[in-house]
Amino acid sequence: MSRNPFRSNRPQQTSPHSVNQGNPADEAIINQAHAPYGSEAATAIAYCGLDAWFEGEEVEFRRFARLFRRLRN
């Protein structure tokens, strides 16, 4: 289990296509990342994505990759 504060403890979804874009939970994650990390929030989100990747959680990885792209643009 990850010690990452932005990671979900929910079971993984079976399809990456069922994750909604513009999800209010995504906005909450971005806001939570901005609070302690400020301008480095994109780096924190990238770390979360790497953590998900190394744990084999593809759905979470895709979610954080999408959030990272939003923060970098």
Q: What's the pLDDT score for residue 44?
A: 95
The answer to whether the pTM exceeds 0.75 is: no
pLDDT for position 29: 93
Q: What is the pLDDT of residues 5-58, one digit of tens each?
A: 666 665 555 444 444 456 888 999 999 999 999 999 999 999 999 999 999 999
Instruction: State residue 15's pLDDT score.
Output: 44
Domain boundaries, the chain: 41-73
Q: Could you give the CA distance from residue 35 to residue 59 in angstroms, rounded to a whole number?
A: 25
The secondary structure of 7-69 as a DSSP string is S--SPPPS-GGGSPTT-HHHHHHHHHHHHHHGGGHHHHHHHHHHHHHHTT-HHHHHHHHHHHH
pLDDT given at position 56:
96
pLDDT for the residue numbered 9: 60
